Amino acid sequence: MTLPGSPFLAYRGPDLFLDDVRLSGLVREHGSPLYVYSRRAMLAALAPYQKALKDRAHLICYAIKANSNLAVLQTFAQAGCGFDIVSAGELARVQAAGGDTSKVVFSGVGKTRAEMKLGIEAGVRCFNVESTAELEVLSEVASGLGRQARVSVRVNPDVDAGTHPYISTGLKGNKFGIAHEEALATYKRAASLPGLDVVGIDCHIGSQITEVAPYLDALDRVLDLVEAIEAAGVTIHHMDLGGGLGITYTDETPPAADVLIGQLLQRIDARGHGHREILFEPGRSLVGNAGVLLTEVLFLKPGEQKNFCVVDAAMNDLMRPALYEAYMGIVNAHQRADAAQQVWDVVGPVCESGDWLGRDRTLAVQAGDVLAVLSAGAYGMTMASNYNTRGRAAELMVDGDQVWVIRERETVSDLFRLEHRIA
């Protein structure tokens, strides 16, 4: 049986291993549900980005929101990465993980003054600004500190990345970025503000993109803008082409990162922009297929119309199926020869009909088995909540046969630690 995505995840005999670690054994030792990530798989996903960019000035800024565990950030920091952040909380995580804040780009459509101040004080490399109003406020905050904030304007190239509407960000009518037609005026305004130092341009057109074409379309529009902006006397040092490269959840065939970047660089060079520093902000493509969510089967509930396989992980642990109707592979961590294959809806214990992890999955399964939800390294734990007063899962990192607990399981008392009864 072939599993999507990661060569680091494979059956050895009947047992599923991530690196050299048997996954069903981890649940016995650390409980369920349990997120497990492979450091090797993350670094292997980073390698094609590094390889494609090695001969030019570049910075790969891992988009923290995909998976923000400190050990994950530490892994990318040690590999030389910068970070794409969207909140002061994520900035604090970079610092706690030992990351270099001068390699941080600060994105997001709604930064507060307090966040701007923290970013400037931490010396972030650049603010990716998403509106004229934000430019004005950022200039004010920087001037108040006697500083200049380095900025790049996030432009909305109005290209269709062909993804789910909730994860597409590069179309008109979308809350992100500044419309292509307004970009030049916005740059002129930015250059005139005393607290700002214009250093770059950026775009990010969506997520789970599986084609090269939308990237090339967006790049062409960005290059048109760079030429117009520089003709108006404002220098653009770097171009940040965002993140968004897709991964294989089931049968998607996204381009390899080095193939995508190779084509982008070719276009950049052909249009005479080869001297500019290039930034990328990959999230999902660096971590998605490096992780699994392990969950124990509580009960089998066969029915007239549907068979339900009730597991102890739920939408609060992994929201993608409930939120986007996303498909995630689900396999038994120990393949059974002693149970018949049947079609199951894999559902969690939360009191919502939307609480399912997989529909119509063919599995040979018994109560007590450990299932692995695949491709769960991105937008899994970072979107987890405490709905139904459920503590969030523990997280482990593996590398070879080494195992580290990188986040402990939340206890019930953690969950209402900040609450008070009234008199």
Please, which residue, 240 or 312, has the CB nearer to ligand PLP? 240
Q: Which of 39, 41, 49, 84 binds ligand PLP (CB under 6 A)?
A: 84
**Number of residues this chain uses to bind ligand PLP (CB under 6 A):** 16
CA distances from 392 to 76, 173, 380 (A): 24, 35, 11
257 binds ligand PLP per the rule CB under 6 A = no
**Shortest Cβ 137–ligand PLP spacing (Å):** 19
CB 200, min distance to ligand PLP, A: 13
> Is 63 among the residues that bind ligand PLP (CB under 6 A)?
yes
Cross-strand bridge partners of residue 245: 209
Interface pick for ligand PLP out of 170, 244, 348, 358 (rule CB under 6 A): 244
Residue 63 in contact with residue 91, Cβ under 8 Å?
no
Q: Which residue, 65 or 117, is less far from ligand PLP as judged by CB?
A: 65
Cα 405-409-411 angle, rounded to 5 deg:
150
The interface region with ligand PLP, picked from 7-15, 58-66, 253-261, 357-365 by CB under 6 A, is 58-66
Question: Whole-number minimum distance, CB 107 to ligand PLP, in Å?
Answer: 4
Q: Which of 42, 66, 91, 371 binds ligand PLP (CB under 6 A)?
A: 66
Our finding on whether 375 is near ligand PLP (CB under 6 A) is no
Task: Count CB neighbours of 309 within 10 A.
Answer: 26
Assess 242 for contact with ligand PLP (CB under 6 A): yes
Residue closer to ligand PLP by CB (options 107, 332) is 107
| Nearest-angstrom CA–CA distance, 400 and 287 | 17
Q: Is 126 an annotated catalytic residue?
A: no
Q: Does residue 107 touch ligand PLP according to CB under 6 A?
A: yes
To the nearest whole angstrom, how small is the minimum distance from the Cβ of residue 214 to ligand PLP?
A: 13
124 binds ligand PLP (CB under 6 A): no
Which is the catalytic residue, given 81, 126, 203, 351?
A: 351
- Determine phi and psi for 141, rounding to 5 degrees: -65, -45
**Sole window of 23-31, 114-122, 241-249, 414-422 interacting with ligand PLP (rule: CB under 6 A):** 241-249
Residue from 131, 152, 207, 289 in contact with ligand PLP (CB under 6 A): 207
Q: Contact between 282 and ligand PLP (CB under 6 A)?
A: yes
Choose one: 37-45, 60-68, 91-99, 401-409; the region binding ligand PLP (CB under 6 A).
60-68
Q: Cβ(75)–Cβ(42) under 8 Å?
A: yes
Tell me whether residue 366 or residue 382 sits nearer to ligand PLP (CB atom): 382
243 counts as binding ligand PLP under rule CB under 6 A: yes
Q: Does 65 bind ligand PLP (CB under 6 A)?
A: yes
- Minimal CB distance to ligand PLP: which residue? 283
Nearer to ligand PLP, 280 or 344 (CB): 280
The footprint of ligand PLP (CB under 6 A) covers 63, 65-66, 84, 107, 204, 207, 242-245, 281-285
Would you please indicate which residues are annotated as catalytic (active-site) residues? 351
